[in-house]
Structure 1
Amino acid sequence: MTSWNDPWLLTALVPALLVLGALLHRAWATRQAREQRRIPKHWPLSTRALVNSEEARVWHWLARAFYDHHIMIKLPVTRFTLPRDREQGMHWYRLLGGVYCTFTICKADGKVIGCLDVPGKNALPRSTRMLKHSLLTQCGLPYWVVRSSSLPTVAEIRAEFLGESPTAQSMREREQEERAIIAAQANLRSAISRQRNIRHSDFSPLSNWPSSTTGDSRTSDFGSQWQDNSFLVPLDSRKGDLL
């Protein structure tokens, strides 16, 4: 009869049990990895704002300063940089994949002209700031760190990012104001013209109306005042306070 105390039997069983244990563990790990990759029925996530209150104040200021450009939010630098050596592309992507700027200013064609960072309650780490400054300036892109409490003037930032002179900036602002005035005047003339047309159609001559005393059977213009929804054309089409 074979005894479990036989050293030869134990010597043969131990490796087999170890192999079996390894296979079972591998199957369990594979199943766990598959479960993690499976799309959940209920995502454990919620939406949040792209920017905090400090960043939002700078964002609104940038929208006014660069009204003729696009303001991109928290864009990774790997989206607008390209490695000179393609073989090193993955190395630089892994290194810089998590580096982004709070705001990136670009033209309508997608060409970036500069980047800005808005530090949080804690100051931006010096190493991070030096990395971004070195990277972006060597790519020919201005890099600024700003706070909503100490913003530069519009002329200063446009001069740095676009190379505009103060004179060019003032001329651009004046041109923008003139275009706004011209557009407002055109809208006013159009509104006045619509008002006149509506009033003219509402107050048609009384001779066109049928007379109850004379029995005039001429067709009335009253029907022309009705719309498809059977409501009379209003005398005044201006919007009320609640509209």
Structure 2
Amino acid sequence: MIYAVFVLGLALGGGVVYWLRRSKTPDRKRIPKDWPLTVRALVNNREKQVWLWLTKVMFDHQILIKLPITRFTSPAQQADAAHWYHLLNGVYCTFTLCNMEGEVIGCIDVPGPKGLSLSNQTLKHNLLSQCGIHYTVVDPANLPHLIQIRTAFLGEQAARGNANGELESRFKNVSQHLYAIVDRKRNTKNQSVAQLDASMPNSSGYAESMLESSGWEQNSFVTPLDSRAAKL
């Protein structure tokens, strides 16, 4: 009788534990009706300056923004894939250069106001160089010459392409096109603001007060790896 009571109690206890765990599972997996998220800028002011410069200098390549290194690398041994993915999934560069065949040729980091740690640069340089990918850090206040950066990523082919002035011509054409787009958007924005101000005289001051109260900043995006809890 005692044995039967013990088995019955054990079964009931197990059933209660199972029911409690199962009742909590839907709460963890339930998709919220209102997501606790807000939109923020993908790049800050410094990164945007380098981004626009890259679109002119590397006009024949694609520029990918803040792409994880694990997206374009793979482990030599698939058995270690989970380990390396867990270790490197948070590592990314500000910009990744890709040719039209989808092959990554180089990565660029833009240091934040506090700079970029030497350990951060060393880790990415060693990792990427062993994969045959060039890595460099570009300061928006001291941008390199277009021939210098193209030679670093493309080799002597870039220098040969400049022999007949083709690069300067393409660079000038792309620059003029980008400036035209910027001017057109600026004029459109000014016209929209003027119309809004005409209908709502205090709209400009209201918009500024809303931005200030929201706590949003143009340079709010963190520098890669700055938010990691521990160093690699």
- Range class of TM-score, shorter chain: 0.5 to 0.7
Which residue type is aligned with residue 152 of structure 2? Answer: E
Distance 2:116 2:71 in 1: 22
Change (3 A) 1:86 1:44: same
| TM-score for both structures, normalised by structure 2 | 0.63
Q: Secondary structure at the match of 1:71?
A: strand
**Offset of residue 177 of structure 1:** 7.5
What is the aligned partner in structure 2 of residue 104 from structure 1?
A: 96
What is the aligned partner in structure 2 of residue 169 from structure 1?
A: 162
- After superposition, residues 76-91 of structure 1 pair within 5 angstroms as 76-91=68-83
**Offset of residue 176 of structure 1:** 3.0
Task: Please state if 1:74 is matched with 2:66.
Answer: yes
- After superposition, residues 30-109 of structure 1 pair within 5 angstroms as 30-109=22-101
- Could you say what the CA RMSD is over the residues aligned between the two structures, in angstroms? 2.9
Change (3 A) 1:89 1:158: same
- After superposition, residues 160-199 of structure 1 pair within 5 angstroms as 160-164=152-156, 165-169=158-162, 171-174=165-168, 176=170
**Offset of residue 173 of structure 1:** 2.1
**Offset of residue 63 of structure 1:** 0.5
Distance 2:162 2:58 in 1: 11
Unaligned runs of 5+ in 1: 1-11, 181-241
Distance 1:178 1:58 in 2: 17
- After superposition, residues 213-232 of structure 1 pair within 5 angstroms as none
Change (3 A) 1:29 1:82: same
The superposition leaves residues 87-108 of structure 1 with CA deviations (integer Å, 9 ceiling, x where unpaired) of 1112111111111111000101
Which residue type is aligned with residue 124 of structure 1? Answer: L
Unaligned runs of 5+ in 2: 175-190, 192-232
Q: Secondary structure at the match of 2:97?
A: strand
Distance 2:135 2:60 in 1: 19
Which residue type is aligned with residue 95 of structure 1? Answer: L
Q: Which has the higher contact order (CA 8 A, sep 6+)?
A: 2
Which residue type is aligned with residue 169 of structure 1? Answer: N
Which residue type is aligned with residue 172 of structure 1? Answer: E
Change (3 A) 1:32 1:121: farther
What is the aligned partner in structure 2 of residue 114 from structure 1?
A: 106
Q: Secondary structure at the match of 1:128?
A: helix
Q: Secondary structure at the match of 1:143?
A: strand
Instruction: Return 71-80 or 157-166, whichever deviates more.
Output: 157-166
Q: Secondary structure at the match of 2:64?
A: strand
**Offset of residue 84 of structure 1:** 1.4
Distance 2:95 2:54 in 1: 9
Task: Please state if 1:144 is matched with 2:136.
Answer: yes
**Offset of residue 111 of structure 1:** 0.4
The superposition leaves residues 27-51 of structure 1 with CA deviations (integer Å, 9 ceiling, x where unpaired) of 4454334212111111111112211
Which residue type is aligned with residue 42 of structure 1? Answer: D
From 128, 134, 147, the equivalent of 1:155 is 147
Distance 2:107 2:19 in 1: 49
Identity %: 44
- How many equivalent pairs are there? 169
Change (3 A) 1:149 1:26: farther
Which residue type is aligned with residue 161 of structure 2? Answer: A
Distance 1:80 1:89 in 2: 13
Structure 1 residue runs of 4 or more that deviate by more than 6 Å after TM superposition: 177-180
